[in-house]
Amino acid sequence: MLTKEQLYIKLVIYSLGRSREFILSHYDEELAEKVTEKYPEIKTMLEFTLLTILPEMELKLSQETEALCDELMFSVRRLHNVLGEYNFAIKDIPIWINKFENVLKSNH
C-alpha cells in the first residue's frame, strides 16, 4: 500500500508531466517570445498548479521530500514569463520528474 507521501510524490510527478505537455502543446519558442514581449511579468501556470497541490499541514513529509518540494517551488517562482516557463518545461521538468521518481524509488 502506498503512503500519503508516496501518493503526494506521484501527484507532483503527474502534475509536472501534464503541465509540461500543456505548455509544449500551446507554445513554441517563437510564440513564447511574442507573449513574453506583450506580458513581460506574469504568474506562470506552472506556479499556480504547484501551489494548488502543496501538501496540507497535516501531511508530514520526509526531510528529503520537503527539501525537494521547496527547491522546486523556489525554481518555479523565479519564472516570471511565458518564455521562462517554456524553457523550464523543455529543459528542467524532465530533470525534476526524475528527481521525484528517485525519491519515490528510495521510499519503497
Q: Could you tell me if residue 34 is inside a domain? A: yes
| pLDDT for residue 107 | 72
Q: Could you tell me if residue 58 is inside a domain? A: no
Q: Could you tell me if residue 36 is inside a domain? A: yes
Choose among 91, 21, 68: nearest CA to 49: 21
Contact yes or no for 54/11 (Cβ under 8 A): no
Range of the domain at 17: 4-52+63-106
> Taking the model in full, what pTM does it have?
0.89
Q: Could you tell me if residue 57 is inside a domain? A: no
Count of structural domains within the chain:
1
| pLDDT for residue 25 | 96
Q: Could you tell me if residue 29 is inside a domain? A: yes
pLDDT in tens, the chain (108 residues): 568 899 999 999 999 999 999 999 999 999 999 999 998 888 888 999 998 887 766 778 889 999 999 999 999 999 999 999 999 999 999 999 999 999 999 876
